Amino acid sequence: KTFAQKSGLNTHCLIHSGEKPYLCNICGKTFSRKYNFNEHSALHADRKLLSCSVCNKTFRWKASLYKHS
């Protein structure tokens, strides 16, 4: 696999090494990618939940609710 930047290669290598340097201080879950850590951290934030009008399942993102519909 090729990468445009060295940082992309470094991030990719974390997958193979099993290293997960991003730790959630709230629940203790760890992540190898900062993006996934940030997405997870948003789950702990006080955000308004969006609910499906058919089944009442809740979502934090409009895109997820739209995809569910």
Distance of CA 16 to the CA centre of its chain: 19
∠ CA 32-36-38, nearest 5°, is 115
Q: What is the pLDDT of residue 35?
A: 92
pLDDT in tens, 5-60: 998 898 888 888 888 999 999 889 999 889 999 988 888 876 678 899 999 998 87
Which pLDDT score is estimated for 44?
A: 82
In a domain, 1, yes or no: no
- Tell me if 52 is assigned to some domain: yes
pLDDT over 90 (residue 61): no
Is residue 25 in a domain?
yes
CATH number reported for the structural domain that contains residue 57 in this entry: 3.30.160.60
Instruction: Show the domain range for 56.
Output: 6-68
DSSP lists the bridge partners of residue 59 as: 50
**pTM, full prediction:** 0.55
Q: Does 64 reside within a domain? A: yes
Query: What is the structure's pLDDT at 46?
Result: 66
Residues 6 or more apart in contact with residue 13 via CB below 8 angstroms: none
| Alpha helices, DSSP H, located in the chain | 6-17, 34-44, 62-68
Rg of the Cα atoms in the chain: 16
Number of domains in the chain: 1
